[in-house]
Amino acid sequence: MAIWNLGSINLDLVYSLSRFPTPGETLAAGEFERFLGGKGANMSVAAARAGATVHHIGAAGHDGAEIVQKLSDFGVDVTEVVPVEQPTGHAVIYVVDNKDSDEAGENQIVLFPGANRALTFEQVENALSGAQAGDVFVTQNETNMQVEACQIAAQKGLRVCYAAAPFDAASVASVLPYLDFLILNQIEADQLFDETGQRPEELGIKDVIVTLGGDGARHIDGTSGEITTSRAFDVEVVDTTGAGDTFTGYVLAALEAGQTMRTAMETASRAAAVMVTRRGTADVIPTMAEVTSADLA
Ligand code: RIB
């Protein structure tokens, strides 16, 4: 069994600030670091670090060789990452590193999609030709070809999962007919309700996870209606960037490995808790060994 991830690959340019800038203001950053990122790449790395076999489907420009190599070094199969003319996607990320601020660990992100939106139908179809019924397909809202890929994956009998970030109700609505699994946060669930008039449990999807930040996560079994909750862990938050992606990658890998939904969510919550104690994105996603040995309260 394997995970096939149609996902973004970004170069993350991360600036640490004492607070977020106001319009028109010039503010000096305390630190600057570069990371492999993109919600897609982060999920692939998280799932690989959790022990899954992960095939990433994506695109990068001529300037992207180094970060694609990094993705590969983190244990992700990049055979289906194609070179394109467009520049590699990148993200400018501000993180507040002021412990006294209410915004400590929070981020603001500006995305340049670039190559992430240059995929073709033929590429996606060809990439998924190696997938088997029973494999997992996951995508997010940072590439093109989401609907087409979900349709192909569903036709092939894959378990189709959508991580609804960055959130756009119309994008969720367009993939809904193909989904077996939806992961979104509470604010996004509320936005989806405003748009569709449906609560997560009314969407007709087999599995829905609503992440609740500091309150953990809730799984809704769309068939039985059964609700499973997992708690959050109390840690000192350094940087929340990529924590949701880490949760998703870990939960999918744990389910692939045969864990129950309750255990998978517990493992994923632990991974996300470790992740928020670290500054950065894919490069600092914890390994399974780090997750299991972490001293979490
Ligand atoms: O979720 C965090 C990610 O969002 C970053 O890695 C950035 O690239 C954006 O895609």
Query: How far apart are alpha carbons 255 and 262 in whole angstroms?
Result: 10
Ligand 1 probe mutation, 9, 12, 43, 239, most atoms within 8 A of CB: 12
User: Beta partners for 185?
Assistant: 211
pLDDT at 201: 87
244 Cα nearest atom in ligand 1? 1
For ligand 1, the distance from its centroid to the CA atom of residue 167, given in whole angstroms, is: 13
Query: How far apart are alpha carbons 59 and 115 in whole angstroms?
Result: 6
pLDDT at 85: 98
Phi, psi of 200 (to 5 degrees): -50, -40
Specify the DSSP class assigned to residue 30.
S
For ligand 1, the distance from its centroid to the CA atom of residue 161, given in whole angstroms, is: 18
For ligand 1, the distance from its centroid to the CA atom of residue 153, given in whole angstroms, is: 24
* Exposure class string for 167-194: b at 16+ Cβ within 10 A, else e: beeebbeebbebbbbbbbbeebbebbee
Mean per-residue pLDDT, 166-179? 95
12 Cα nearest atom in ligand 1? 8
pLDDT at 262: 96
Q: What percent of the chain has pLDDT over 70?
A: 100
Q: Residue written as tokens 């959508």?
A: 162
Going through 75-152 in order, the beta strands assigned E by DSSP cover 81-83, 89-96, 107-112, 136-139
| pLDDT at residue 247 tops 90 | yes
93 Cα nearest atom in ligand 1? 7
pLDDT, tens digit (0-9, with 9 covering 90-100), for 11-59: 999 999 999 999 999 999 999 999 999 999 999 999 999 999 999 999 9
User: Beta partners for 211?
Assistant: 185, 217
Residue owning the nearest CA to atom 2 of ligand 1? 242
pLDDT at 214: 84
90 Cα nearest atom in ligand 1? 8
281 Cα nearest atom in ligand 1? 6
What distance, in Å, lies between the first and last C-alpha atoms of the chain? 33
Please give the model's pTM, rounded to 2 decimal places. Answer: 0.97
For ligand 1, the distance from its centroid to the CA atom of residue 37, given in whole angstroms, is: 5
Pocket of ligand 1 (CB under 6 A): 8, 10, 12, 37-39, 42, 91, 109, 111, 142, 241-242, 245, 281
For ligand 1, the distance from its centroid to the CA atom of residue 242, given in whole angstroms, is: 6
Which amino acid, 144?
Answer: N
The SS3 of residue 72 is helix
For ligand 1, the distance from its centroid to the CA atom of residue 11, given in whole angstroms, is: 9
Q: How confident is the model at residue 183 (pLDDT cuts 50, 70, 90)?
A: very high
pLDDT at 22: 96
pLDDT at 200: 86
User: Beta partners for 237?
Assistant: none
